[in-house]
């Protein structure tokens, strides 16, 4: 299938919900997947992926757009499949959340998003052509999914102190602060006015005065063409690697408080002063422990989530239909 035909197929598949919002003639919808007794339509998928689709169409073209739209469609469809799997598992539970739990969540939403004004919520629902009953059901579904995830994933995450320490040792290079220098510089045009010798003489004079103790910042403000001139040539604390190689080499040999000779780079003269040095050092374990623990918990959460969804899927009927190709393709299917 050519790029144009593939793009057209995907756009046709994903444009359904946009046409609903814009009031345009509707494209023919179709079935994207089955999950147990649920039917997922292409429109359902597009409704979920539409914000991403708009961003992709604005940023990409051709094969790159096709690939990204396909991935966005697959991600959205997978999210809907997982949602139904979790909700079906919830419905099979003997003990469910009481109705007042959902009512409390609704009150929180009204307080947080509508300033406690229920009429504003109703106005918003009217704009979206949604009844309060349908919205309440969506809130209930969200609460149920959160409850199920908490029981089957969040409460099972356990990260030991030893695992955090081991991760720190494994990734110690990531937590090492690189060596830095506190740098000030003056940059002067090498052939200003076409007279190279005069420019060099001026650079030598400025360097002599800086090395002799004259205010480096004042000299930079007066003579430097660098963007840092207004701040007295102050570059702050920088890693030498951010400098061009010839400047980094000279800066690396300077001690704190020392001023370089005039450096001729071919187009400019530079005068450097190093005001301080910090050697490379590892961040203490105590400083990065919370960051590492959050990372490990997120990783473990993803692993537990994937395993849980895989178990739910193995006990369910799931059939994914191919909707973006001219060629017939086997549908992904699983049965309990």
To 5 degrees, how large is the angle CA 166–CA 170–CA 176?
115
Contact 80, 40 (CB under 8 A): yes
For residue 144, CA distances in Å to 85, 96, 131, 174 come to: 12, 8, 20, 39
H or E element that contains 183: strand 180-189
Please give the structure tokens belonging to residue 299. 């990783």
Question: What pLDDT is recorded for position 276?
Answer: 94
For residue 82, CA distances in Å to 225, 308, 319 come to: 59, 10, 13
Q: Does the pTM of the predicted model rise above 0.85? A: no
Cα–chain center distance at 210: 45
For residues 7 and 16, give the distance between their C-alpha atoms in angstroms, rounded to a whole number: 15
For residue 88, CA distances in Å to 34, 98, 111, 275, 312 come to: 13, 17, 30, 66, 9
pLDDT tens readout for residues 122-148: 999 999 999 999 999 999 999 999 999
For residues 207 and 270, give the distance between their C-alpha atoms in angstroms, rounded to a whole number: 9
Annotation: CATH topology of 179-279: Chitinase A; domain 3 (3.10.50)
Please give the structure tokens belonging to residue 329. 């393709």
For residues 176 and 42, give the distance between their C-alpha atoms in angstroms, rounded to a whole number: 49
Question: What pLDDT is recorded for position 4?
Answer: 43
Per-residue confidence of the chain (336 residues) as pLDDT tens digits? Answer: 444 444 444 444 444 434 333 443 344 468 999 999 999 999 999 999 999 999 999 999 898 999 999 999 999 999 999 999 999 999 999 989 999 999 999 999 999 999 999 999 999 999 999 999 999 999 999 999 999 999 999 999 999 999 999 999 999 888 888 899 999 999 998 876 567 788 899 999 999 999 999 999 999 999 999 999 999 999 999 998 889 999 999 998 999 999 999 999 888 999 999 999 998 888 899 999 999 999 999 999 999 999 999 999 999 999 999 875 444 344 456 666
Domain ranges of the chain: 3-92+317-334, 99-152, 179-279
Q: Taking the CA of residue 107 as centre, how many other CA atoms within 13 Å lie in the half-sphere pointing to its CB?
A: 6
């Amino acid at each position: 299938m050519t790029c144009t035909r593939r793009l057209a197929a995907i756009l046709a598949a994903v444009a359904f919900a946009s046409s609903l919002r814009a009031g345009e003639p509707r494209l023919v919808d179709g079935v994207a997947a089955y999950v147990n007794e649920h039917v997922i339509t292409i429109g359902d998928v597009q409704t979920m992926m539409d914000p991403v689709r708009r961003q992709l169409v604005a940023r990409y073209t051709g094969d790159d757009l096709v690939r990204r739209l396909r991935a966005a469609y697959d991600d959205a469809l997978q999210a809907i499949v997982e949602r139904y799997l979790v909700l079906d598992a919830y419905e099979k539970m003997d003990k469910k959340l009481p109705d007042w739990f959902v009512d409390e969540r609704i009150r929180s939403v009204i307080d947080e998003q509508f300033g406690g004004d229920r009429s504003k919520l109703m106005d918003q629902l009217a704009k979206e052509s949604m009844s309060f009953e349908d919205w309440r059901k969506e809130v209930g579904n969200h609460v149920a999914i959160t409850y199920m995830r908490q029981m089957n994933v969040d409460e099972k995450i356990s990260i030991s102190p030893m695992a955090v320490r081991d991760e720190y040792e494994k990734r110690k290079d990531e937590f090492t602060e690189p060596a830095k220098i506190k740098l000030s510089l003056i940059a002067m045009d090498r052939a200003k006015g076409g007279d190279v010798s005069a420019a060099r003489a001026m650079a030598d004079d400025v360097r002599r005065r800086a090395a002799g103790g004259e205010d480096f910042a004042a000299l930079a403000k007066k003579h430097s063409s660098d963007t840092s001139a207004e701040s007295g040539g102050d570059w702050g604390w920088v890693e030498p690697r951010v400098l061009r190689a010839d400047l980094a080499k000279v800066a690396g040999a300077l001690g704190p408080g020392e001023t370089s000779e005039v450096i001729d780079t071919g187009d400019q003269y530079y005068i450097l002063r190093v005001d301080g040095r910090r050697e490379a050092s590892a961040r203490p374990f105590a400083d990065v422990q919370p960051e590492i623990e959050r990372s490990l918990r997120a990783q473990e959460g993803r692993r537990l989530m994937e395993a849980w969804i895989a178990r739910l899927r193995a006990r369910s009927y799931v059939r994914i239909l191919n909707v973006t190709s001219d060629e017939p393709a086997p549908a992904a299917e699983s049965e309990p």
